[in-house]
């Protein structure tokens, strides 16, 4: 006899788990089925180098989760199941080749001193931006938290027009459409301060010249100043463990090592799933697929020509290589020991280099100077490493999933099996330039290529950690496709969720929570 649930969810990423918990709280019986041996998708933690060194597999920053409407509703419950955060008062910084640095701290005086060392005018600009953030935040967060339906969007625009007036609304719209470069060059004079903020755009596939990307460097900068950052106590998997425990405590099922072979249909209605081992699981009210759009038709078969074309044509961002390091001591940053106090150190030298790196990766080339995000979580959470030692978390951006060559002409391999080590060496050489002696402190390392990221989690196509480009043609009302930003599909009772669905990537659980609230009626 088939197992029966009200809702069956495919994949145990944080969005599907958030949806499952909310539906459970509303009285639904839920079953979550995950192909991997461990729940969490890109949000998990393990001893990937040496015993006692805990590394976040992909996601490290949990600020969006901790500040989300979902956590506001379920934070106390998750806390009872062991979810614990570590506050970070110095969220991000950048090191530059000329030996200077810049960084953002929750201490305004400290941030202004760092910026003033590069440009007094830019420090004044920063102070003015922060002072106005309280007025701008409701509009931006209101947009990002809105359902992407014409009625909801029209109501949002009406409220904005009433609050800002016609001129202010036009300025706001212009900002939303601007590229990072356009906003940064209009706002700041020093190239290092522009680069400090532009590095955040690269996290979401917004190279400096991509329209619609200005909002993300602005928001990350202002939020970092106002709130700092949070990371998970002991690892990012604290949220996944707590979500799984909370669902189970409410009578739900979370099963790992259970790949889904297909979605069962009765004509144009989804009725459940069939697992790879042949088991059939019935869903009486909803099947929720936490999969990349390109994978959906493999599970459903054909739906409608227009929807299937949209899913097949969904565009992914360039990939990422992860390098996990176990260190005997923190890097000695050439720009000064102040950088040892930050959670992130970006090695992203200029707007032009970021643009060049992006274009090279888009062409399938290994970039000559990849962008590095250097995470130092043990500065704030020593439980992740043995006493006196540290973990280092390196995102190497951009790293194309499919290789056509090397922009520098030094690496001749066109497959990741042979290109991984020399490309990692290139990244580590960049780190060594900024922090001499770091290589001598490496006790062990683990390289995770874009191909391995996708093998572990099929949603990370080509190593794309944001599950799809957020460019304007594939965002807002068009994420993942026009008419389906709410996760709906042409099949009744079948819904799509995850980072490919509005409001997109990040750890905020917005796609899962919005969908669950729609299904449950609240």
Residue 295 CB neighbour total at 10 angstroms: 18
Topology alike, domains 3-43+60-86+235-314+468-520 and 318-456 = no
Q: What is the mean pLDDT of residues 356-364?
A: 97
Phi-psi group of 3: left, alpha or beta (phi > 0 → left; psi -120 to 50 → alpha; rest → beta) = beta
What topology is assigned to 318-456 in CATH? Polyamine Oxidase; Chain A, domain 2 (3.90.660)
SS3 268: coil
Residues 457 and 270: beta-carbon distance below 8 Å? no
Selected residue with higher pLDDT from 220 and 156: 220
Q: What is the mean pLDDT of residues 49-68?
A: 97
Predicted confidence at residue 196, as pLDDT, reads 98
Cα torsion 232, 349, 211, 482 to 10°: value is -40
Helix or strand or coil: residue 176? helix
DSSP assigned state of 348? -
Q: State the pairing for strand pair 3-10/30-33.
A: parallel
pTM metric for this prediction: 0.96
CB 145 within 8 A of CB 137: no
Q: What is the mean pLDDT of residues 329-340?
A: 97
Mean pLDDT of 171-192: 96
Give pLDDT tens digits for 313-328.
Answer: 999 999 999 999 999 9
pLDDT at position 27 is 98
Average pLDDT over residues 284-309: 97
Query: Would you tell me how many other CB atoms lie within 10 Å of the CB of residue 251?
Result: 11
- Checking if the pLDDT of 88 tops 80, the result is yes
Per DSSP, the three-state class of 278 is coil
| Residue 139 pLDDT level (bands cut at 50, 70, 90) | confident
Cis peptide before 348 (omega within 30 of 0): no
Residues 6+ apart with CB under 8 A from 38: 44, 46, 256
Per-residue confidence (pLDDT) for residue 2, from 0 to 100: 56
Mean pLDDT of the chain: 96
Please give the pLDDT value at position 159: 80
Task: Give the pLDDT band (50/70/90) at residue 188.
Answer: very high
The residue ranges of every structural domain in the chain are 3-43+60-86+235-314+468-520, 124-222, 318-456
Say what the pLDDT of residue 153 is: 75
CA distance 22 to 514: 10
**What would the two tokens of residue 154 be?**
């029209």
pLDDT, position 161: 84
Task: Encode pLDDT of 449-492 as tens digits.
Answer: 999 999 999 999 999 999 999 999 999 999 999 999 999 999 99
pLDDT at 35 over 50: yes
pLDDT band per the 50, 70, 90 thresholds, residue 157: confident
Confidence of residue 145 (pLDDT cuts 50, 70, 90): confident
| Residues 382-441 pLDDT 10s | 999 999 999 999 999 999 999 999 999 999 999 999 999 999 999 999 999 999 999 999
Main-chain phi, psi angles of 282, to 5 degrees: -95, 140
CATH class of 3-43+60-86+235-314+468-520: alpha beta
Q: Which residues contact 445 (CB under 8 A, 6 or more apart)?
A: 49, 323, 324, 325, 326, 424
What confidence score (pLDDT) does residue 150 get? 72
Q: Identify whether the C-beta of residue 361 lies closer than 8 Å to the C-beta of residue 384.
A: no
pLDDT-above-70 percentage for the chain = 99
Over residues 180-191, mean pLDDT: 98
Q: How confident is the model at residue 1 (pLDDT cuts 50, 70, 90)?
A: very low
């Amino acid at each position: 006899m088939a197992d029966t649930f009200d809702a069956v969810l495919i994949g145990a990423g944080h969005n599907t788990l958030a949806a499952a918990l909310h539906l459970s709280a509303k009285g639904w019986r839920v079953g979550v089925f995950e192909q991997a041996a461990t729940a969490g998708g890109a949000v998990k933690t393990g001893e990937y180098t040496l015993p006692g060194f805990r590394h976040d597999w992909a996601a490290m920053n949990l600020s969006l989760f901790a500040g989300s409407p979902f956590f506001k509703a379920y934070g106390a419950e998750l806390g009872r199941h062991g979810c614990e955060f570590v506050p970070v008062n110095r969220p991000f910084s950048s090191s530059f080749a000329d030996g200077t640095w810049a960084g953002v701290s929750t201490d305004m005086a400290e941030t202004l001193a760092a910026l003033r060392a590069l440009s007094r005018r830019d420090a004044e600009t920063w102070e003015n931006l922060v002072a106005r953030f309280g007025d701008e935040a409701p509009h931006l967060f209101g947009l990002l938290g809105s359902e992407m339906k014409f009625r909801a969007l029209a109501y949002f625009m009406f409220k904005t027009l009433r609050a800002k007036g016609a001129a202010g609304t036009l300025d706001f719209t212009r900002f939303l459409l601007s590229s990072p470069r356009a906003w940064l060059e209009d706002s700041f004079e020093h190239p290092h301060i522009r680069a400090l903020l532009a590095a955040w755009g690269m996290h979401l596939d917004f190279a400096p010249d991509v329209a619609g990307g200005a909002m993300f460097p602005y928001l990350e900068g202002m939020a970092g100043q106002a709130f700092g950052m949070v990371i998970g106590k002991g690892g990012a998997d604290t949220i996944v463990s707590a979500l799984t425990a909370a669902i189970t405590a409410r009578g739900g099922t979370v099963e790992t090592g259970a790949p889904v072979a297909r979605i069962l249909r009765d004509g144009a209605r989804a009725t459940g799933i069939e697992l790879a081992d042949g088991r059939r699981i019935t869903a009486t009210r909803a099947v929720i697929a936490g999969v990349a759009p390109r994978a959906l038709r493999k599970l459903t078969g054909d739906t409608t020509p227009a929807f299937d074309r949209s899913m097949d044509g969904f565009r992914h961002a360039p990939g990422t290589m992860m390098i996990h390091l176990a260190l005997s001591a923190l890097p000695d940053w050439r720009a000064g020991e102040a950088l040892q106090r930050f959670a992130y150190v970006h090695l992203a030298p200029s707007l032009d280099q970021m643009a060049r790196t992006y274009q090279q990766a888009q062409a399938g080339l290994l970039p000559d100077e990849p962008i590095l995000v250097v995470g130092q979580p043990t500065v704030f959470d020593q439980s992740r490493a043995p006493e006196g030692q540290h973990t280092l978390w390196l995102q190497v951006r951009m790293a194309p999933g499919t290789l056509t060559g090397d922009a520098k002409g030094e690496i001749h391999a066109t497959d990741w099996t042979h290109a991984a080590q020399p490309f990692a060496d290139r990244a580590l050489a960049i780190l060594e330039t900024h922090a001499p002696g770091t290589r001598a402190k490496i006790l062990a390392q683990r390289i995770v290529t874009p191909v391995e990221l996708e093998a572990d989690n099929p949603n990370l196509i080509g190593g794309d950690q944001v599950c799809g480009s957020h460019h304007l043609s594939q965002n807002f009302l068009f994420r993942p496709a026009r008419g389906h930003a709410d996760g709906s599909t042409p099949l009744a009772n079948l819904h799509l969720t995850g980072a490919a669905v509005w409001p997109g990537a990040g750890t905020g659980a917005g796609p899962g929570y919005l969908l669950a609230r729609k299904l449950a009626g609240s």
